[in-house]
Structure 1
């Protein structure tokens, strides 16, 4: 296959991924539930996330970081700190058990989901802003998680800083730094495929949600009646975050507003689940994180499609 044939096929690939992303995500979730053996690919998750972040970051010319507005960043960070309070209120209103309540509180307190920059790029938002929010909140999690859990639940959850820092470094900081350096060194060659990089990242989103769903398929299936309440709670927390991010950004640019909406509404369910397991909570405490992951991947894909249409 020659270069011209590849170049002509790439736009078709991009359109196939971008235009039908929501359908692909729903299909991936379904396959994960039906074929849980896909969970064997879980060790590849960090690599997939790194490819996803790296692909998006290839579109980030260094000068885009210079345009980041401090007031916008601070506003989003302030609203982020209110998410565990919202999560606690939701769990309390639903009458959930202490373990499930802890699951929601930790979910609200952790960093935005690692795919947030990807979904921001696919939505036409400010990817630099979403990436910086992700990194800053990630390090703030080291203080925020034990603080809010102690305040709201009366017992501290042990936070493993190595877990969070390692995930941020391997899946976000390292691939982003390499991609921005490559973009800076060869801007013309890399810029030729700017329309393709978000689609590659979108493909990684499809893969990762299928793997996560498969890895937790038995937990979802065995949850019984409580699953309905957890699904409702996840939907309210996710949509509540989107609404808060959209409301506080009404004076931002369109790109900043999209980044704000997704950064506040999306939570890193994998980190939340890992922290709960590390703190020796019952397995059921991770259910809110698992369900939320499926919910947010689906809703963010739908939002990306809506934002593109509005543009």
Structure 2
């Protein structure tokens, strides 16, 4: 049983390149039966984050915050360089006041995506660093998001900070804290012992998250499908720029460890698009939501492509789920 469970987890890891787009298509095309399950996404994320957390102790987190340069670099790339690139790209293609430009910039100013931590773990990056960056960026988002929108567009933007923090508490903070406590109490052995049960379930939940996210955005995708063709190239380019900046910028600062390059590149390439969609529809025109919807669609496939390229052309030591 243990061997089969580990084999299944390994199969999912190897197959993300085709599993992700397949689940996205399935969720979009057959969204109706899955829509009632969309509210379960935060709870699925919570379990996944907990499983990752049991492989991370206090010492890991202390080491991360004792050397803050990677965190600072990631936030600068994500919320300074990327928004400037988005504004320049949108202005050149659609005009500086276009709702599409607003949507492109909005994608770059929203917090780092929780799902980036999943890809960091799958791809051999630093779990502790990934979690720390997501937590810090999410905590800063009530200031960062309205501030940058005001800077670029002069819009007076507010949103439900308490709701955002509650979701982040549920999805990231609480399960991570629980996982760290268990790691400490077990001396790091809990994941090795319970892994054959925990890991396959977390992989199933990960696939469900992709499927349900696709189902959740299907109504918006269908409603705005007439606008998609003109914006798709811009979104693909912008998301791709995020991954590239995250991989190559650390090299300028002599931050060359494969683990760090993997971590920063996934963190800068992925955003909390669920929040972005809420903001776009709640405070701007439906057209501003188009880039965010498209980013949701292309972000996961590009993550699989990014992982494939890293494996193929930039070999780095991948973590074994239980053997690390």
- Give the alignment's TM-score, normalised by structure 2: 0.87
1:225 shift after superposition:
4.3
Matches within 5 A, 1:80-99: 80-82=78-80, 83-95=82-94, 98-99=98-99
CA RMSD in angstroms, aligned pairs only: 2.0
Distance of 2:45 and 2:107 partners within structure 1: 19
Aligned to 1:91, what secondary structure does the other structure show?
helix
Which moved further from structure 2: 270-279 or 290-299?
270-279
1:301 equivalent to 2:304? Answer yes
**Number of residue pairs aligned between Structure 1 and Structure 2:** 305
Distance of 1:189 and 1:114 partners within structure 2: 23
Aligned to 1:27, what secondary structure does the other structure show?
helix
Contact kept? 1:246, 1:261, Cα under 8 Å: yes
Contact kept? 1:55, 1:200, Cα under 8 Å: no
Aligned to 2:94, what secondary structure does the other structure show?
coil
Partner of 1:121: 121
* Residue from 17, 22, 25 that aligns with 2:17: 22
Partner of 2:230: 229
Distance of 2:205 and 2:243 partners within structure 1: 23
* Residue from 46, 55, 67 that aligns with 1:59: 55
1:262 equivalent to 2:266? Answer yes
Distance of 1:18 and 1:197 partners within structure 2: 15
Partner of 1:47: 43
1:169 equivalent to 2:169? Answer yes
* Residue from 277, 290, 307 that aligns with 1:273: 277
> Where does structure 2 lack aligned partners over 5 or more consecutive residues?
317-324
1:254 shift after superposition:
1.2
Which moved further from structure 2: 87-96 or 139-148?
87-96
Q: Using a 3 Å threshold, how does the CA distance of structure 1 residues 163 and 98 change in structure 2: closer, same or farther?
A: farther
Q: Using a 3 Å threshold, how does the CA distance of structure 1 residues 11 and 201 change in structure 2: closer, same or farther?
A: same
Which moved further from structure 2: 91-100 or 108-117?
91-100
Deviations 1:79-111 (A, max 9, x none): 222222222222222216733322222211011
- Give the alignment's TM-score, normalised by structure 1: 0.91
1:193 shift after superposition:
5.2
1:33 shift after superposition:
1.6
Aligned to 2:299, what secondary structure does the other structure show?
helix
Distance of 1:70 and 1:293 partners within structure 2: 29
Which moved further from structure 2: 161-170 or 87-96?
87-96
Contact kept? 1:88, 1:104, Cα under 8 Å: yes
Contact kept? 1:230, 1:288, Cα under 8 Å: yes
* Residue from 28, 36, 43 that aligns with 1:33: 28
Distance of 1:233 and 1:297 partners within structure 2: 16
Which moved further from structure 2: 29-38 or 270-279?
270-279
Contact kept? 2:130, 2:263, Cα under 8 Å: yes
Distance of 1:229 and 1:78 partners within structure 2: 29
Aligned to 1:81, what secondary structure does the other structure show?
helix
Aligned to 1:156, what secondary structure does the other structure show?
coil
1:195 shift after superposition:
8.2
Q: Using a 3 Å threshold, how does the CA distance of structure 1 residues 59 and 218 change in structure 2: closer, same or farther?
A: same
